[in-house]
Amino acid sequence: MTVLPIVISPDPRLKQRSEAVASITPDIIALVENMFDTMYASNGIGLAAVQVGVLKRVIVVDIEWHPRERHERTIAIRGNPIALINPEIVHSSEDERSHDEGCLSFPGHYSEVIRPDSITVRYQNLQGEECTLDATGLLSTCLQHEIDHMNGIVFVDHISRLKREFIMRKLIKAQKNATNLDS
Ligand code: NI
């Protein structure tokens, strides 16, 4: 089990477009496993590779996992883990839903984001097979959030400038404080 460090905003990598995965190599499979470990350890329901510093079109999601205490430590009971390679939204509904979104790269910050309620995503699984997934509700929101990451878009790009600037100021301040403590 490898929990990787998470890229925290502001970081220029979060603004970059990730590259398509040409083939599912053992490195990609190891990356996916480490991304699941990192996501569960950080209490997240989704993670994009850029958030662990890898600019590849790879995301993992599991909106149904839950923590369980075992031998005095908390472990993640997997719910419905899905790894998506080169995911692409091929259809979005007119209906929308609003969700109070957070992001592991924006620790402690949340904001309502409105997105299409249902989407259809095309992707490759870890066997390299072409798959299609119809998602609605929270899974749809989560997938759209992660697919955004691969295009250098973060959830605060969907909110008002005023709210975004407020959150960015807090993050810059937190980063400065952390640097001061380190030195
Ligand atoms: Ni995120």
CA 71 to centroid of ligand 1, rounded, Å: 31
Centroid of ligand 1 to alpha carbon of 148 (angstroms): 8
1 in a structural domain: no
What amino acid positions are annotated as catalytic residues?
Answer: 146
pLDDT for res 77: 87
Question: Which CATH number belongs to the domain containing residue 54 in this structure?
Answer: 3.90.45.10
The pLDDT value given to residue 65:
87
Decide if 6 is inside a domain: no
Q: How many structural domains are present in the chain?
A: 1
> Is 7 within the bounds of a domain?
no
- Complete DSSP assignment for the chain: --PPPPP-SS-GGGGSPPBPP-S--HHHHHHHHHHHHHHHHTT-SEEEGGGGT--BSEEEE-SS-EEEEETTEEEEE-SS-EEEEEEEEEEE-S-EEEEEE--TTSTT--EEEEEESEEEEEEE-TT--EEEEEEEHHHHHHHHHHHHHHTT--GGGGS-HHHHHHHHHHHHHHHHHHHHHH-
pLDDT tens, residue by residue, 37-88: 999 999 999 999 999 999 999 999 999 988 887 787 878 888 899 999 999 9
Q: Is the pTM of this model over 0.75?
A: yes
Is 96 part of any domain? Answer: yes
**What pLDDT is recorded for position 120?**
98
171 neighbors 9 (Cβ within 8 angstroms): yes
- How remote is the CA of residue 44 from the centroid of ligand 1, in Å? 9
Does the residue 117 lie in any domain? Answer: yes
| Res 29: pLDDT | 98
Q: Confirm whether 2 is domain-assigned.
A: no
Residue 48 within a domain: yes
Q: What is the pLDDT along the chain (183 residues), one digit of tens a residue?
A: 799 999 999 999 999 999 999 999 999 999 999 999 999 999 999 999 999 999 999 999 999 988 887 787 878 888 899 999 999 999 999 999 999 999 999 999 999 999 999 999 999 999 999 999 999 999 999 999 999 999 999 999 999 999 999 999 999 999 999 888 766
Distance from residue 60's CA to the centre of ligand 1 (Å): 11
Q: Which domain holds residue 123?
A: 12-182
